Structure 1
Amino acid sequence: MPLPADLRQSRFSTEALANSLWNGVVGSAMPTWRDLPARDIASLIRYVQALSPAAADAQPVSASRAGTRCRGLRW
């Protein structure tokens, strides 16, 4: 299995993070979190985005690099 990503090194887009949390990451230890309420997933997304020291300056990683789109979540 690949090592976990250092979430401090990139600025991830909201869509990319929602996709990863909702669908998990195939080929990794990242499970799906579909049993969490949308409010909790949104809180996790904001937390991960705040980890980047240059959060305001960094370019977000696009959702197209994250794979399939997240379904069923409304923000």
Structure 2
Amino acid sequence: MEPDQALGQALRSLRTRRKWSQTELALRADVDRSYLSLIELGKNSPSVRLMFKLCDALDVTPSDLMKDVEKRMRAQRAR
């Protein structure tokens, strides 16, 4: 699994656990919903600034998000 895909999955998981739509997270993080969709699909990578905005909106630290990304990548490699 590529890092962009793992990041997208981690963000989607955090968003859906809160029962938020992409639109709701996009509004909270001040990002276009279609761009957020591309990030969640692993087709685009957010800038560091946007990563912090998304984490702030989701009430997680960037380091916790990256730990989740690493965990997802390790799990995929182990298969």
Report the TM-score when normalising by structure 1.
0.30
Whose strand fraction is larger, Structure 1's or Structure 2's?
Answer: 1
Q: Which has the higher contact order (CA 8 A, sep 6+)?
A: 1
User: Which has more helix, going by share of residues?
Assistant: 2
